[in-house]
Amino acid sequence: MKLRTVTLGCKVNQYETQYVREGLLGIGYEDAQDGDAAELCIVNTCTVTNEGDAKSRQTIRRLARRNPGAKIVVMGCYATRAPHEIAAIPGVSQVVTDKRELPDLLGRFGVTDIPTGISGFGRRHRAYVKVQDGCLLRCSFCIIPSVRPELTSRPIEHILDEVRRLVDRGYREVVLTGIHLGHYGVDWNRRSILPLPVGEGWGEGELPRTNAPSPYPLLKREGFRPKSEWIRLSHLVRRIAELPGDFRVRLSSIEATEVTRELIDVMADHGDKVAPHLHISMQSGSDSVLARMRRRWGSRRFIDRCRLVQVRLDRPAITTDIIVGFPGETDAEFQETIDVAREVGFSKIHVFPFSARRGTPAATMPHQVPAHVRQCRARELARVEDELREQYYRSLLGRQLRVLVETEEREARSEEQVSAWTGTSCRYATVELPATPHDEGTFRDVTAREVRGDRIVAF
């Protein structure tokens, strides 16, 4: 039986597709090669934007045309949000509306030994490891909490076993990911969920503070175990860093309030294993925009948390996401975002022009920003990103960087082919380095020599 999988969207989706794929390969399915028709197609959909919905539908229809007679199973956030829309597309044979059903899905296809995790991640040299699912927050622009509302943390021992398998198979970097990574363990720490009005607040590093700009589905403080018994992301990272082997661990996107002192201490104590890089999602540097977004902090608190990271760690990379053109965003509010970006000194910014997502409060807010203004602001912020990235990269010149070698590149110069490798440094900078045999998939310790565009050249 030939199998074809297609994934749209985030790292969590990529992990979940790999989980299903491995289970099916274990009972005799084979990956369909280019040009082959598959008998089973798995589509993992995304619904974070309206465009994600459209791409998901296009992908399903294309697979139905190119794999006539195939069973098409659709899962993912779009399948959860609009299962009837998916089921109505010709060729769809099954819709999985809840990712917690994936073990049951494998069982329906004949998998009797249901895996607790994955053992590989294709031909990549880094592997994503999903440690958590679900989000309780209600940011006004985001649809995801409505399709992944249940907090679920994977058992630590399952995660440790998975990391051991991946390292044994040659993966040199594992990226911890989740829908809300910083809430790893929260579902174990609470005893019950009780809605409360804003003002009774959540604990530092875990939950919204008392000055939250709008109501959240809060967890009552009495519903928590004693804080001394809590399991947090920092505990998991420390356990992974203590595993033997030549590998490193990197954290994916995390919220500023969850960059706790305990987590920073783990990163400092295990600098040989934990990458000195955090992707701290900011979204805006304007306090008034953050309030309309229903974010959990103001700009000063965000800056202070980044400063704590920069003081404690050795020249860490801090990357972020920023939405420009959020409803009502003025020129002055946009300038506040630029000012905060410069003050923090991000090494990379993922810039997103605001896109109204049907079903979210932001989609119907007044004073929607015109498209041409959103695009103009995106270009301006991209120029700021280029400037900040160069400043950060120049701060690394003369320093030793540990690079995971990933890709060989060839460039024509004076009728000769000059070969080099590119890879990713511990500080998430793309590095070009001289090629030597058998480098791919290994670590190289190199010295940063110069900055060339969006990469560092090393020797």
pLDDT along the chain (459 residues), means of 10: 96 96 96 92 95 96 96 97 96 94 93 93 92 94 93 96 97 97 90 37 37 38 64 96 97 95 97 97 98 95 97 97 98 98 98 95 97 98 98 97 86 57 96 86 95 95
CATH for 2-108 (3.40.50.620, 3.40.50.12160, 3.40.50.11540, 2.120.10.70): 3.40.50.12160
Q: Strand pairing partners for 434?
A: 420
**DSSP 8-state class, residue 321:** E
Dihedral angle at the C-alpha atoms of 130, 205, 273, 269, nearest 10 degrees?
A: -160
Q: How many Cβ atoms are within 10 Å of 298's Cβ, its own excluded?
A: 17
**Domain 126-395 homologous superfamily, CATH:** tm_1862 like domain (3.80.30.20)
In whole angstroms, give the CA distance from residue 44 to residue 59: 10
- Alpha-carbon distance values, 428 to 249, 275, 345 (Å): 12, 8, 14
Whole-number Å distance between alpha carbons of 393 and 61 = 44
pLDDT at residue number 433? 93
Phi and psi based region of residue 164 (left: phi greater than 0; alpha: psi -120 to 50; beta: remaining): alpha
Residue 6: per-residue pLDDT: 97
The CA distances from residue 25 to 165, 173, 347, 357, in Å, are 17, 24, 40, 36
CB 115 within 8 A of CB 19: yes
> pLDDT at position 417, please?
56
Tokens of 146: 């409505």
The pLDDT of residue 224: 59
Token reading at 279: 């992707």
**Inter-CA distances, 132 with 16, 150, 226, Å:** 12, 10, 22
Residue bearing tokens 């294309």: 62
Q: What does the pLDDT read at residue 414?
A: 46
pTM, rounded to two decimals:
0.89
Q: Is 255 left (phi over 0), alpha (psi -120 to 50) or beta?
A: beta
CB 406 within 8 A of CB 424: yes
Structure token pair of residue 43: 């589509």
Q: In the chain, what is the straight-line distance between the N-terminal and C-terminal CA atoms, in Å?
A: 48
With residue 405 as reference, give the H or E element that holds it: strand 400-413
For β-strands 152-153 and 248-251, DSSP reports them as unpaired
Sign of the C-alpha dihedral computed for residues 83, 150, 257 and 235 taken in this order: negative
Please choose, from the candidates 407, 421, 399, 11, the residue with its C-alpha nearest in 3D space to the C-alpha of residue 179.
11
